Structure formats: C-alpha cells, structure tokens
Structure 1
C-alpha cells in the first residue's frame, strides 16, 4: 500500500511541475536546450579533431542552437506575422 501512495504522490508532483511549465516556457526551453547540447557538444568536440577544448565545443554547440532557434523564429515571424 505504501508504494501505491508514493507512486500517486510522484504522479501528482509531475502534474504540478508540468502545469507550472505551461505558464513559464523560458525555463523549460533553456533546460531542453542545455539537454540537447549534451548531445551536440561531444559531436562538435569529435568533429574538430580535439583542436577545441570541451568548453569551446560546449559554447559552439550553444551558439549553433541559438542560431538555429532564432532562424526558425524569424522564419515564422516573416511568414505568419498575424500571430505575433
């Protein structure tokens, strides 16, 4: 019985977190961007033949993600301006 109660409490906690995330999208976007960069940074580090340090690869990955997200945002602003 105790495990059922703890599972219910965990599900309620996750539901509360996700309901708060709907109102605050910036922290969630930053978190997902950093998680995605955990995949991008090692690829950049490996592709440069270890000429960059890990910090530089991390920064270059973040720069690429920001550039990509800005270009997608600007694309939508240009072609669907009435939503903004």
Structure 2
C-alpha cells in the first residue's frame, strides 16, 4: 500500500517546522554567521560596482576582495565611532 500525500504532509511539515525552530534558536545564539552571510550578500552589489569602476583592469576575484575590504573597513569605522562616543554600551 502506497502512502498518500495527505498522510505524509503532516509528518513533513512537522519536520520542516522543527528544522526552522532549530535554525531560529541557533541564529539567536550565534550572530557572526548571519553577519558574514549578510556581508557577502551586500558584496554581491558592491563587487560589480568596483569591477565596473576600474574599467575591467581588476579581475573578478580582485573586485570581490576590494569590495569585501571596503565593507570591512566601513563596518570597523562605524563600530569604532560608536565605541568612542558611546562607551557605556560596550
């Protein structure tokens, strides 16, 4: 006897919900992977701009590296700005 879709669907949805809750709880504990993922997604926008601005003198890898370096520099400068002017939070 073959299992039908309406019998399997509740089991699959329970497994999917369990997986989503596990990811949600881990996301609350570990923020660094989320920040790295968001930086790489933002670099998808920045790297082609760098590649276009250099007149294709850089390779795509170099454009990605320069874009990521710019993002890291910008984020560190924003962090240090807040540390200097609002030290009570840190």
The two structures have a TM-score, normalised by structure 1, of 0.86
Cα separation, 1, equivalents of 2:10 and 2:52: 45
The two structures have a TM-score, normalised by structure 2, of 0.81
Partner of 2:42: 36
Partner of 2:33: 27
Cα separation, 2, equivalents of 1:11 and 1:46: 43
Structure 2 residues without counterparts, runs of 5 or longer: 1-5
Equivalent residue in structure 2 for 1:80, among 82, 86, 89: 86
Aligned ranges 1:2-81 → 2 under 5 Å: 2-81=8-87
> RMSD of aligned C-alpha atoms?
1.5
Q: Which protein is bigger by CA-based radius of gyration?
A: 2
Cα separation, 2, equivalents of 1:4 and 1:57: 47
Cα separation, 2, equivalents of 1:75 and 1:51: 34
Structure 1 residues without counterparts, runs of 5 or longer: none
